[in-house]
Each structure stands twice: as C-alpha cells, then as structure tokens.
Structure 1
C-alpha cells in the first residue's frame, strides 16, 4: 500500500513539473512574465534592426528597474534571426514552448508567415512590420500594429503629392515611382497605393532595388526615363542612401522629389547620404529625436545613465522603446485587473486601449476588436541642414 501511494505521489509530482516546464509558467501568478522576441542584428535590415532591438530591450530593463508591471518583472527572451524566415519560425516555436505570453517580432516576410500560427497559439504579436496584411483581423487576430501601415503611409504620401502638384500649379498628372526593397516588405504598399493613386490620375511604376547591389545607376536611369516627378522609397536606410548618392551624381535630386517611408526616414540616411539627403521628405509615424517631445524623456535619461543619448541612438531606438511600451500597457491592464496573464486576456486588454498617450512620439494609439491598426496618421518631415525638420502636422489616411 505504501509503495502504491509513493508511486502515485511520484507521478503527480512529475506531472506537475512537466506542466510547469511546458508552458504555463510564462504568465504564472506572481512570477516573471515571459515575452519572446526576434531581431535582425546581422541580416540585411540590421542597420535599422539593431537600434530598434536596443529600444525594446532597454525599455524592459528600465521598466524592471522601476518595479516591473505592478511588481512583476518582464523576462524578455530574444535572439538574432538575421532576417531569415525559417529561423524566425524555429525561434517562435521554441519560445512558445518556453511559455511566452506575448511576442515582439520584426520583418514582414516572417511575420506574415507566422500569422496563422500566432492566431492558433493565441500569442499577441507586435512586429516592426507595418504590412496592411497584418491588420486583417480575420487572418491575423493576434497581430497588433503600433505604427501606421505601409499602405496607409504610401496613400498619405500620394495624397500629399496630389496636393503639392496642385499647389505648384503643375499641368498634367504627376508621375510616381515606388523604388522598393526586393522583399515582401518592399512591395507591401504597392497594390493599395496603386488602387488609390491611379484613379486620381497619378501615373505609377514600381521598381525593385536588386539584392546586393552596390550601385543603382541603371535603375535610376529607368526612373528618369519614365519621367518621374516623385520617387517614394520603401526600403531601409543603407540602400536608400546609396540611391540618393547615385541620384545626385545623375543630377536627379534637383529635379525629382525623393520621399522615404518610415524605414529609411531616419538619421542613418542623413549620416550615409550626407548632402545628397538634403530636401528628402520622410513619412514618419514616430517622431525623430531631433524634435523633442515629452515621450522621449525617460529613454533619454536612461541612456544618459549609460553614457549614451537618444540623439546618438536615433529614431528606431525610440520606435522599439514605445512599441514595447504599448505591449506592456496591455499586460499591465491584465495584471491590474487580477486576471491570468495569457494571450487571450492580453489581446482583450489591448483591444480596449483608447487614445494611449505616447507623449508625442506617435499619434495617440487606439485598438478595438475590429481594428488592430494603432495609428492611422503621421507627420511629414524634411531634411534641412542635416536635420529632420517637421513639414506638416499629422495627416490622416483618406477614408480612415
């Protein structure tokens, strides 16, 4: 009898240990709250991926240093995936097995590839990709976008182009080229932008930036032959800077208005392109550090305590910081309400977020059960004397 009782107790104990190890612990009451993350630190978007990752990680360090979420720390589990979709899928599976209750992602290709599994696993997911596909609730019910979608960014820019063309008294119709990263990220806004622009008379063309290219003269010659008045770049900073230098050599920067969507509108572009960046316009859902707003204070003070500064780290750092802050706000509401910290409850908490104030870093962030696009407006900035200077107030996407 004693042997049987001992055996039963052993089985019960082992079962308890297995359950604890296999995933329930990520949001277990009173313990650390596990959040998974993947970053591009060595891949083709690492120029912008590295400062973004530092912003996410430093926010967690800062938060935990202040007592965490209602007394509970965030345990951020992360790794470099080098912009490889298969590596992203492997790390996502690993971290879900380890019990994460939320996830911070990165690229468009990997986030779109994962969205079905994210929905099945019920893991709230905030990517640095703002692909409009990730805002489709029926296909991606656990994906949330803090930044304005690439499609909305492109449409806002196209509307500005129409207004600019008219204000300058130009005849005919403007010609616009989307010069883009050769990836799902790069092409993401094209169809929505074309559907908006072509019926309004804009002549449009898309052209990919060849992978691994060290010169874009051939592509820019095609753009010039098309007669482009505006070139919208949906890419990251390094290739955008090379394009601007090549365009300057061809005498195009005085004739054509170059515009960057958010991932090449940053300080990296200015540092690399130098005077070729003068006059470039940037579509910015997130405020650059060259414009001081209250929402940058905590990050800047944290960095100064480490011998750095927000000016040094740049726009994508504050972008990562505040994206993690928005995810944390959902987690905070769950903990404060005394509910179990799991994906379903975090999703519901995020969907109740209305006009969340980022201190001027973005437009107020709102989600709902039917709309996971956190912001639908942005400001345009322009490079003047090597600095991003505000050009417009917030512009909302036409039709909302």
Structure 2
C-alpha cells in the first residue's frame, strides 16, 4: 500500500473511532462550572436537603439530555451547615475553581456574600427570598430571586387577613402577630410587614422563636395577651409543627388563624404536626405536588426512574428543580448568542427573561436590568385532609 493510501486509511479509521466513542459535534464541549451551597446537616436541613437534592438531580437530568447546547454542567457543591463563615470559605474556593454562577441557600450567608458576588461578577440565586437582596439593584446587582420575597409574602398574608376579617363580618381591622425564626432569615420581613400593617390600621406585633426551644407556650401566651386574630409564622417546618401543636393544645386555633410563610408551608410541616395542621393556611410561591401542574412532570419522572416519587421528595424539591431550571435558561441564552459563558454575560442574559413559563409551578418569572425580583405573585393554600389545597388564584403584594 502506498504512503498516500496508508495515510487516508489511518484518517478514516480515526474518524470512525471518534464517532464510535461519541466524538464530534458538541460532544467535547467545555463544561460550565456552577457552585452550590446547601445546608444538609445544619438547623435548616429539614427544608434545605430536598431543595439541594433537587438542584443536584436537575443537573444530572440536564446532562443526561446532552447538557445545554452540548455543554455539560459541572456542579461543585458543599454542605455548609448554615454557617456563614463556612459559606464564605466555600465561596472563595468556588471562585478560585472558576465557577460562573452559584446556587446558594440561607439569608445570613447570601447577604454576607452580596458585596463579594457583585465585585466578582458572579450571578447568585439562593433560596433566601430576603427583600434586602432586591430592593436596590445597585447594592446587589448579581443577586436573582425566583421566589416571592419574605416581605411580599408577609404583606400578602396581612392583606389576606384584612379581607378574611371583613368577609367574616367583623368591623374595624384585625390584629396580626408575626412569629419568626431568630436569625436574619426570620427578621427579614419584619420591618416591611410592620410598615404595611400600620398603614392599614392593623394592630401588629412580632416576636422571635427562641433557639433550641422544646415548646412555644410562653410565646403563644404573649400572642394571646396581644389579642391576635391572625398569626403569621416565618420559620422552618420542624419548629412550626411544635408551635401549632401547642396552639391546638391551648385551644387557640378555634379563634385564631395561622398563616405559614413558604419555608414552613410544606409536607414536612403536615407530617410533623399531624392533625394539628388541619386548617392552617400557607403562602406558597411554588405549587406543591398535592396540586399537580405540568411543571411537576419532569422531576416526577426523574424521581420515579430513580426509585422515589415527587410526593416523597416534596414541595421544596420542586422549588430547587425550577430554580436551577431558570439559571439553565439564562445559560442557554448566552450560548444561543454565541458568547462565552461568563458571569457578566449570564447576568445580561438573565435580565432578558420575560414571563418565563415554569409550567404552573410559579407565576411567570421576569428579570430586567432594573429588577431581579423574579415574581411577586403566589397562591394561598390551606391544609385540608392532610394536604395543601389551593384556596386562591395568584395574588400579588399591593
């Protein structure tokens, strides 16, 4: 065989081997690094674990679909146990490893990292819906929220209480108590809720839930003395279940309505509170599995194929799945424009999202260069027969 034909044969053989191994096209596309900060073992792990697992699973699912325009996602994540100093250490590690965006978790760490995120130009989506992260775009230009802020949730709950009070035939205005987690997360909506309540003539008080408490009898006594008609609860599922059981044992739920904000309006709360959960209301920015919508289908199939179910994984799994889906949409828009995936390009792409359809899981999501508050609307649900049942359409903060 001549050298010419030998060379052509080698080239052809190499091409066939490459094709057999999946080479060519986008197969060798560069991976896109994303950082993850989740509380898998700390004080909010009851709700963070399903949320974090969903982001991890979404990335696996997405990569099995071929990634984003052929680019796989490389998710680098750690359990920071709800400790701000650990979150800061992992953040520095992620920056050094070249991540272009981060999926975070808590309010304290997200707010602590806000200035670093802005300086490093790294888009940051967290499960903290603190209004402080979106009030001033100049202070937090790289933070994006998918869920309704805690402030807006509390304001919606107060407005709902006003409407319910009037619909029940009462004169005047109700009294509302806000009981919350003793942390920046818990305190986040207090000032805005107080200002809104006072502007409407609603009596308002707030108090923190002591860390490590085994009961909340003393706090409920304060709420009774105040004469609250409605109690807004802003913490995680486990302490809320204890609170509601104590309220039922004291006979409070006969005359007082409890409204849980999103991190304690879930299946975990119902399981822990049992019959005491019946009748409790919740502000839900994300649609629970008990209220099926098309946006549940992909995560439900993934879980079924891996020996679980969406009913078992719960609402916060849905929440994490779709938060990562919104970030993936931003990455896709960068790649569709033929640009490199950098923090700056991703921020700009996310800011082009208008009325992004989460297939019924949330109200449509919109970001602009002036606002990173993805949505301001949610639905009110009530525990009926051991499940969250929708009792309103989407409601926005006034």
Establish whether TM, by shorter chain, passes 0.5. Answer: yes
Counterpart Cα distance in 2 of 1:131 and 1:331? 24
* Per-residue CA distance 1:35-75 (angstroms, 9 max, x = gap): 00110001000000000001111000000000000001000
Q: Is the 8 A contact 2:29 2:72 kept in 1?
A: no
Q: Is the 8 A contact 2:36 2:78 kept in 1?
A: yes
What residue is the counterpart of 2:250 in the other structure?
250
Q: Is the 8 A contact 1:177 1:230 kept in 2?
A: yes
Counterpart Cα distance in 2 of 1:234 and 1:89? 25
* Per-residue CA distance 1:4-60 (angstroms, 9 max, x = gap): xxxxxxxxxxxxxxxxxxxxxxxxx93110000110001000000000001111000
- Taking structure 1 as the reference length, the TM-score comes to 0.92
Q: CA deviation at 1:253?
A: 1.3
Is 1:278 the counterpart of 2:281? The answer is: no
Q: CA deviation at 1:259?
A: 0.4
Consecutive unaligned residues of structure 2, counting only runs of 5 or more, are: 1-27
What residue is the counterpart of 2:202 in the other structure?
202
Secondary structure of 1:248's match?
helix
Q: CA deviation at 1:103?
A: 0.2
Counterpart Cα distance in 2 of 1:118 and 1:233? 30
Secondary structure of 1:382's match?
strand
What residue is the counterpart of 1:309 in the other structure?
309
How many residue pairs get matched?
Answer: 370
Q: CA deviation at 1:374?
A: 0.3
Secondary structure of 1:282's match?
strand
Counterpart Cα distance in 2 of 1:357 and 1:224? 43
Q: CA deviation at 1:199?
A: 1.7
What residue is the counterpart of 1:94 in the other structure?
93
What residue is the counterpart of 2:354 in the other structure?
354
Q: Is the 8 A contact 1:262 1:285 kept in 2?
A: yes
What residue is the counterpart of 1:26 in the other structure?
none
Secondary structure of 2:253's match?
coil
What residue is the counterpart of 1:7 in the other structure?
none
What residue is the counterpart of 1:21 in the other structure?
none
What residue is the counterpart of 1:44 in the other structure?
43
Secondary structure of 1:253's match?
helix
Q: Is the 8 A contact 1:40 1:106 kept in 2?
A: yes
Secondary structure of 1:52's match?
helix
Task: Kindly report the root-mean-square deviation, in angstroms, between the aligned alpha carbons of the 2 structures.
Answer: 0.8
Q: CA deviation at 1:173?
A: 2.1
What residue is the counterpart of 1:224 in the other structure?
224
Q: CA deviation at 1:193?
A: 1.0
Q: CA deviation at 1:376?
A: 0.7
Is 1:116 the counterpart of 2:115? The answer is: yes
Counterpart Cα distance in 2 of 1:32 and 1:259? 43
Query: Which runs of structure 2 are paired with 1:22-101 in the superposition (5 Å)?
Result: 30-101=29-100
* Per-residue CA distance 1:119-154 (angstroms, 9 max, x = gap): 000000000000000002111000000000111111
What residue is the counterpart of 1:268 in the other structure?
268
Q: Is the 8 A contact 1:331 1:341 kept in 2?
A: yes
Consecutive unaligned residues of structure 1, counting only runs of 5 or more, are: 1-28
What residue is the counterpart of 1:295 in the other structure?
295
What residue is the counterpart of 1:15 in the other structure?
none
* Per-residue CA distance 1:80-137 (angstroms, 9 max, x = gap): 0000000000000100100000000000000000000000000000000000000021
What residue is the counterpart of 2:189 in the other structure?
189
What residue is the counterpart of 2:168 in the other structure?
168
Is 1:341 the counterpart of 2:338? The answer is: no
Counterpart Cα distance in 1 of 2:43 and 2:152? 24
Counterpart Cα distance in 2 of 1:184 and 1:81? 17
Q: Is the 8 A contact 2:153 2:283 kept in 1?
A: yes
Counterpart Cα distance in 1 of 2:218 and 2:131? 30
Counterpart Cα distance in 1 of 2:49 and 2:339? 34
Secondary structure of 2:283's match?
strand
What residue is the counterpart of 1:159 in the other structure?
159
- Taking structure 2 as the reference length, the TM-score comes to 0.92
Secondary structure of 1:208's match?
strand
Secondary structure of 2:332's match?
helix
Counterpart Cα distance in 1 of 2:165 and 2:253? 17
Counterpart Cα distance in 2 of 1:244 and 1:156? 21
Secondary structure of 1:64's match?
helix
Counterpart Cα distance in 1 of 2:199 and 2:93? 47
Counterpart Cα distance in 1 of 2:108 and 2:96? 22
Is 1:138 the counterpart of 2:138? The answer is: yes
Counterpart Cα distance in 1 of 2:178 and 2:162? 15
